[in-house]
């Protein structure tokens, strides 16, 4: 057998375990895994390194067109690649206009094909404005429909009311596509925010108190009920509490097709960090106290969380600067650090098995969004992988996202991404990118 490239001597993290094998690649795909492979024009020396499947980040906001100044395909995909990602799924907001129609799909697709270093899929929006567009969006190739159950922060992407969410799920079930929900109760968040502001409250703790865990649980429960009644596949994004994960598990046992995502920031930072760091750690749902975080980790370790996505959502510095914490943009720049958090906080500190790191960051999102060639280092898959020096400790200073108001700056992690390969091509190594690599659009396999 002949190969274009052999990746030699790495510890390969496969779904079945970690094995020291060579990887033979041809035509951008993995064509052999075996001992002492021979017959390639070129070799990558992976001795002393772990080979992880390229991260499939199912939750990023790169905001093109319209808000490229917040974050765009060029800088966003650099940050992702430096963190070991090879595939990402872009949210329908905060691009402007948001992706609510086929026309916007075609527009964003063209921009991605021009600029993205990595393969990508596109979420379509599910809002009261575009229920009649979902069939067209499915036809265009969206990987799922994203709905906000509370204020998105942008008027052009209104939250769903209950009937819209229910009807949208009925349509999505017919189309065979996943519905992703930002599950926070609008009634709770709106009222608690109004009350706090009316009382002149504007601090970090006031903001955190305006979005308690019950806010999440109430919306999660409602989304699960509608998924149960409609048969829709539900993906609960950015769950911030173990209690919400447990609720999803209960409904899964009742037959709901549900998967759950959490984000690196809920695993790495707490409410105290928001007080210390400020605006860079404002997000919704907000960061939680240590005991809630510990409980979330327990659910991750028990294998009850399906995916970890970054929810990378930067904004320009002027939107992250105010004396009023309520007025700041909510969104965290985290595209580069998902694997770091899972390896350091998960594997090294809490014993999370490497196969589970790979499942959370790559295999499960690829499965959920029906990307059969992604998410695994296995024969027949795309040659998408990250080379990782598992035991190296380093301080993260070299960040590549647009604004770099990044809460992970200066954090120390054990487990460093050395290089990232997309379909056999090296996109990133040691701070340097091959800017000539271009990703392609991925649609869900039918
Ligand atoms: N619009 C947007 O990016 N919102 C994200 N930011 C955040 O903190 N939570 C979100 O859902
Ligand atoms: Zn959200
Ligand atoms: Zn998001």
pLDDT digits (tens, 9 = 90+) for 45-78: 999 999 999 999 999 999 999 999 999 999 999 9
CATH superfamily entry for domain 3-51+382-391+413-433: Urease, subunit C, domain 1 (2.30.40.10)
Task: Determine the 3-state secondary structure of 302 from DSSP.
Answer: coil
The pLDDT value recorded for residue 66 is 98
Task: Please report the pLDDT score of residue 194 as a whole number.
Answer: 98
Class of domain 55-368 (CATH, top level)? alpha beta
Q: Output the CA 305–ligand 3 centroid distance in Å.
A: 17
Ligand 1 neighbourhood includes 182 CB (under 6 angstroms) = yes
Give the three-state DSSP class for 320.
Answer: helix
Q: Specify the pLDDT at position 15.
A: 86
Answer whether 92 contacts ligand 1 (Cβ < 6 A): no
Q: Whole-model pTM? A: 0.98
From 62, 283, 310, the mutation candidate for ligand 1 (largest count of ligand atoms within 8 A of CB) is 283
Ligand 1 contact via 286 beta carbon (within 6 Å): no
Number of H helices, E strands in the chain: 15, 18
Q: Nearest ligand, CA of residue 157?
A: 1
| Residue to probe by mutation, ligand 1, list 329, 331, 403, most atoms within 8 Å of CB | 331
The answer, yes or no, to whether any atom of ligand 1 lies below 6 A from the CB of 152, is yes
Q: Using 50, 70 and 90 to split pLDDT, how confident is the model at 1?
A: confident
Distance of CA 359 to the CA centre of its chain: 13
In this prediction, what percent of the chain has a pLDDT beyond 90? 98
CATH 3.20.20.140 segments of the chain: 55-368
pLDDT at 415 over 90: yes
Confidence (pLDDT) at 41: 85
All residues with CB under 5 Å from ion ligand 2: 182
CA distance 441 to 212: 38
Q: How confident is the model at residue 248 (pLDDT cuts 50, 70, 90)?
A: very high
* C-alpha angle 111-112-116 in degrees, rounded to nearest 5: 125
- Residue 16 binned pLDDT confidence (cut-offs 50, 70, 90): confident
Pinpoint the residues of the chain covered by CATH 2.30.40.10. 3-51+382-391+413-433
Residue 115, pLDDT score: 98
The per-residue pLDDT for range 192-244, each reduced to its tens digit, is 999 999 999 999 999 999 999 999 999 999 999 999 999 999 999 999 999 99
What mean pLDDT, rounded, does the chain reach? Answer: 98
Its ipTM equals 0.98
Cα gap 430→385, rounded to integer Å: 15
What confidence tens digit (pLDDT) does each residue in 397-414 have? Answer: 999 999 989 999 999 999
Confidence of residue 358 (pLDDT cuts 50, 70, 90): very high
Per-residue pLDDT for 10 more than 80? yes
State whether the beta carbon of 149 lies less than 6 angstroms from ligand 1.
no
Does residue 345 surpass a pLDDT of 90? yes
DSSP 160: P
Quote the CA–CA distance of 333 and 317 in Å, as a whole number.
Answer: 12
Q: Evaluate the CA torsion angle 225, 226, 230, 236 in order and state its sign.
A: negative
How does pLDDT run across 100-131, given as a tens digit for each residue? 999 999 999 999 999 999 999 999 999 999 99
Task: State the pLDDT at residue 446.
Answer: 75
Q: Tell how strand 40-45 and strand 55-60 pair up.
A: unpaired
pLDDT in tens, 134-181: 999 999 999 999 999 999 999 999 999 999 999 999 999 999 999 999
pLDDT at 363: 98
At 335, the pLDDT band (50, 70, 90 cuts) reads very high
333 lines ligand 1 (CB under 6 A): no
Interhelix angle 102-115/73-82, nearest 10 degrees: 60
């Amino acid at each position: 057998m002949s190969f274009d490239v052999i990746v030699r001597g790495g510890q390969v993290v496969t779904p079945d375990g970690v094995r020291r094998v060579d990887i033979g690649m041809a035509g951008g795909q993995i064509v052999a895994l075996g001992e002492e492979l021979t017959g390639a024009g070129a070799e990558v020396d992976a001795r002393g390194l772990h080979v992880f499947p390229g991260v499939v980040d199912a939750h990023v906001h790169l905001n093109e067109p319209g808000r490229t100044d917040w974050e765009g395909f060029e800088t966003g995909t650099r940050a992702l690649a430096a963190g070991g990602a090879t595939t990402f799924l872009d949210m329908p907001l905060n691009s402007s206009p948001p992706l609510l129609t086929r026309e916007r799909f075609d527009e964003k697709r063209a921009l991605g094909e021009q600029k993205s270093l990595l393969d990508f899929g596109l979420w379509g929006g599910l809002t009261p404005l575009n229920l009649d567009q979902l069939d067209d969006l499915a036809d265009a190739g969206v990987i799922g429909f994203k709905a906000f159950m509370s204020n998105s922060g942008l008027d052009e992407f209104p939250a769903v009311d209950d009937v819209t969410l229910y009807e949208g799920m009925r349509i999505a079930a017919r189309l065979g596509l996943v519905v992703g929900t930002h599950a926070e109760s609008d009634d709770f968040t709106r009222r608690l925010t109004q009350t706090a502001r009316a009382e002149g409250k504007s601090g970090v703790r006031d903001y955190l108190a305006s979005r308690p865990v019950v806010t999440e649980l109430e919306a999660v429960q409602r989304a699960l009920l509608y998924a149960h009644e409609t048969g829709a596949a539900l993906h609960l994004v950015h769950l911030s509490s173990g209690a919400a994960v447990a609720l999803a598990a209960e409904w899964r046992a009742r037959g709901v097709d549900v998967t759950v995502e959490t984000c690196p920031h809920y695993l790495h930072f707490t409410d105290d960090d928001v007080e210390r760091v400020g605006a860079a750690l404002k997000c919704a749902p907000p960061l939680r106290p240590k005991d809630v975080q510990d409980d979330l980790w327990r659910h991750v370790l028990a294998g009850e969380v399906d995916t970890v996505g970054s929810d990378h959502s930067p904004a320009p510095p002027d939107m992250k600067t105010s004396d009023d914490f309520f007025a700041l943009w909510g969104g965290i720049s985290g595209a580069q650090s998902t694997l770091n958090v899972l390896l350091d906080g998960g594997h090294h500190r809490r014993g999370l098995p490497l196969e589970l790191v790979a499942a959370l960051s790559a295999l499960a999102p690829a499965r959920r969004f029906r990307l059969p060639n992604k998410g695994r280092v296995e024969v027949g898959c795309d040659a998408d992988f990250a080379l990782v020096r598992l035991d190296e400790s380093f301080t993260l200073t070299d960040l590549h996202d647009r604004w770099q108001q990044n809460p992970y700056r200066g954090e120390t992690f054990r487990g460093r991404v050395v290089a990232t390969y997309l379909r056999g091509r090296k996109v990133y190594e040691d701070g340097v990118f091959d800017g000539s690599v271009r990703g392609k659009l991925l649609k869900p396999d039918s």
